[in-house]
Amino acid sequence: MTGGARGIGYAVAAGCAAAGAAVAIIDKEPSECSRVQKEFEAGGYKCLGAAADISDVNMIEGVIADIAAKLGRIDVLINNAGAGGKEAPIFDITPGEWDHTHNVNLKGLYFCSRAAAMQMKALGAGGRIINMASAAGILAPKYVSVYGAAKAAVIHLTKIMANEWARYGINVNAMAPGFIVTDMTKNVMDDEKNAAAVLRKIGLRRFGEVEDVTGVALFLATEASKYITGAVIPVDGGMTIG
């Protein structure tokens, strides 16, 4: 699990651990990896914290190999790490802001997936890769060009990975969350006017909870979804259907 120290990633990792999985948390901050590992172990779960910057390709390959060696195998990779990106008109975006968002959301996901898929292919037992896309990669809202472009690319990349790796028994799917209650969306939800405007776009008229995402992740990580690959599942309360 990349980006598993907080928010959606933490909730999904906790759900996987509760379901009996040995969980590896990849996060940029070593202290956060240690904190989550201790919390999970205190709850009786098996957890490995692994500090890595997923925008560093060499670091990715090393940490994935280390996780596979310590846990014995990698059955599921959940690419959750992400950077929100600057919300601004396209005219105001700098190359550095573009690079930062895409290095985490796209480049990191790409090479984490490749490294994990190589481990799965070598073992010959297949596996699951779950990519975290976004409703912003399906819709085309103003002022999120950098983030939206990265998440749209994640959606298309998911389909290509599924196409290439099906022969190895590796299922690759994506989730596309809408507005989920986390620290990243707190600024929208704390503003009563903005929150009301967003809720009008959501069919179920409520913001999502991290548990809403966890349920879909568990479905995609298990045999319940064994005949699904290349799919993108919106977890958005109906926001992307218009």
For the entire predicted model, the pTM comes to: 0.95
**Which amino acid does the sequence have at 80?**
N
- SS3 per-residue string spanning 166-214: HHHCEEEEEEEECCECCHHHHHHHCCHHHHHHHHCCCCCCCCECHHHHH
Task: Give residue 92's identity as a one-letter amino acid code.
Answer: D
Q: In the prediction, which pLDDT does 65 show?
A: 95
Strand partners, 208: 180
Res 12: pLDDT: 97
- Helices 7-18 and 30-42: angle between axes, nearest 10 degrees: 30
Per-domain boundaries in the chain = 7-182+210-236
Residue ranges of the chain with pLDDT lower than 50? none
Return the pLDDT at 85: 79
pLDDT of residue 194: 86
CB 37 within 8 A of CB 63: no
Respond yes or no: is residue 143 known to be catalytic.
no
CATH pick for 7-182+210-236 out of 3.90.1570.10, 3.30.565.10, 3.40.50.720, 3.40.190.10? 3.40.50.720
- What six digits make up the tokens of 148? 């939206």
- Sign, CA dihedral 157-141-104-27, equals negative
Rounded Cα gap, residues 162 and 14, in angstroms: 26
pLDDT of amino acid 187: 73
What are the tens digits of pLDDT across the range 158-197? 999 999 999 999 999 999 999 999 877 777 778 888 899 9
The residue annotated as part of the active site, out of 10, 45, 110, 147, is: 147
